[in-house]
């Protein structure tokens, strides 16, 4: 087991739940009367995705996309690949990609370009967290839960070396 400290919640369970509810309201209004495919970017978005899809009040189809970087060196250069593809054909459909955190933006920039090549009717990205200070790619999410400073966070799906995903709140790693 990885030994690392994390501090008191940066966002509590209640704060996350309130914000997810607000995002769900906006998404429900924006896609009212439309068919929507919501795509969970695995693995970090799984908890956010489960909560968000439960508060969206329109019928949706859910799908999953596995995304990984090719090793640490390539990660710095932003080399991303799809490790597990969608089951749905998204051509002509409204698609909302749900991500845990946008940092450099390189991952979402790649995912967006890849999915756009399949000619969806529309493609938007909803991220729970946005670290705007670290942006390297020309990418802006369409829906943001919280904008955060440049700190490494864990919990609510986010990991440090595959640990801490199951914390029910978000904390800064290395703080006690």
Between 20 and 67, CB nearer to ligand IMP:
67
Cα end-to-end distance, the chain, whole Å: 18
Residue 114 makes contact with ligand IMP by CB under 6 A:
no
Footprint of ligand IMP on 35-94 (CB under 6 A): 44
Query: Following DSSP, what letter does each residue of 80-119 receive, concatenated?
Result: EEEEE--SS--TTSEEEEEEEEESSSHHHHHHHHHHHTT-
Give the three-class secondary structure for 44.
Answer: coil
Task: Report how far residue 174's alpha carbon sits from residue 119's, in angstroms, rounded to the nearest whole number.
Answer: 42
Residue 104 makes contact with ligand IMP by CB under 6 A:
yes
Size of the site for ligand IMP (CB under 6 A): 13
Least Å from the CB of residue 6 to ligand IMP: 11
Task: Report how far residue 53's alpha carbon sits from residue 115's, in angstroms, rounded to the nearest whole number.
Answer: 20
Residue 155 makes contact with ligand IMP by CB under 6 A:
no
Task: Work out which of 24, 51, 107, 170 binds ligand IMP, going by CB under 6 A.
Answer: 107
Which residue ranges make up the site for ligand IMP (CB under 6 A)? 44, 99-107, 152-153, 158
């Amino acid at each position: 087991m990885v030994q690392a400290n994390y501090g008191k919640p940066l966002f509590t369970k209640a704060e996350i739940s309130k914000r997810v509810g607000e995002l769900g309201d906006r998404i429900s209004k924006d896609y009212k009367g439309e068919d929507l495919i919501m795509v969970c970017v695995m693995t970090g978005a799984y908890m956010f995705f489960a909560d968000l899809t439960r508060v969206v009040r329109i019928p949706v189809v859910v799908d999953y996309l596995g995304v990984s970087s090719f090793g640490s060196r390539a990660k710095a250069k932003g080399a991303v690949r799809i490790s597990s593809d969608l089951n749905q054909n998204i051509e002509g459909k409204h698609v909302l990609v749900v991500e845990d955190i946008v940092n450099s933006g390189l991952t979402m920039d790649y995912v967006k370009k890849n999915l756009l090549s399949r000619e969806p009717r529309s493609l938007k990205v909803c991220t729970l967290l946005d670290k705007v200070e670290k942006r390297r790619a020309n990418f802006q999410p369409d829906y943001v839960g919280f904008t955060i400073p440049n700190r490494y966070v864990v919990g609510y799906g986010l990991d440090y070396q595959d640990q801490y995903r199951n914390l029910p709140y978000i904390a800064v790693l290395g703080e006690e």
